[in-house]
Structure 1
Amino acid sequence: MPSNPSHVVLQYALEWFTVSHHNYSASMYHVVHLHWIAPNPETCKINSDGGRKSKTCLIRACGLLRYSNGHWLKGFGRNLGISSILEAELWGIFWGLTLA
């Protein structure tokens, strides 16, 4: 893992872009390995995500709270009805902060 923080941010931005901007006309997909980065010692980290099924427009938000050593503390998963992917992501943030 590179020690330069700006390089790390750029790497994750490129990974996010690769994962979230599929070229659906292409017959091949690229595998991008994402991984968890531990926070400072003696702290916790929230990871949350929202998702949407394209055909039914059903959204869901999930997330978890982990200690700095990676051990699971709490988690959540919510079915949220029909809406947009933006709303699913925002609910993921809301429930993640509520969990903390």
Structure 2
Amino acid sequence: MANIINDETIEYIGILAKLELSEEEKEQAKKDMGRMLDYIDKLGELDTSEVEPMSHVFSVRNVFREDVVTNGDSREEILKNAPGEKDGMFVAPRTFA
């Protein structure tokens, strides 16, 4: 595979990642990324025609439970912990963004 990782690519990735790389680090990053792409190309050579597609390596099952109320409606108990209360609702200091 022709080496598509050049100085311009490394510079662009550095900008996206907000990294300041020295010249030595840029050269090492080019080598590392080139090796990664070579490895991906090597994986592409594998015959996967007999492999069944999957979305996860391990079997996945739904772990959600039914949404069942177990503690009932204890508004008065809950509002005892509120910093303030008005018309059955919490009153808290206003926050600014």
Choose between structure 1 and 2 for higher RCO, CA contacts under 8 A separated by at least 6 residues: 1
Q: Same fold (TM over 0.5)?
A: no
Q: Give the structure with the higher percent helix.
A: 2
Q: Give the structure with the higher percent strand.
A: 1
TM range, normalised to the smaller chain? under 0.3
Greater gyration radius = 2
- Normalised to the residue count of structure 1, the TM-score between the two structures is 0.27
- Normalised to the residue count of structure 2, the TM-score between the two structures is 0.28
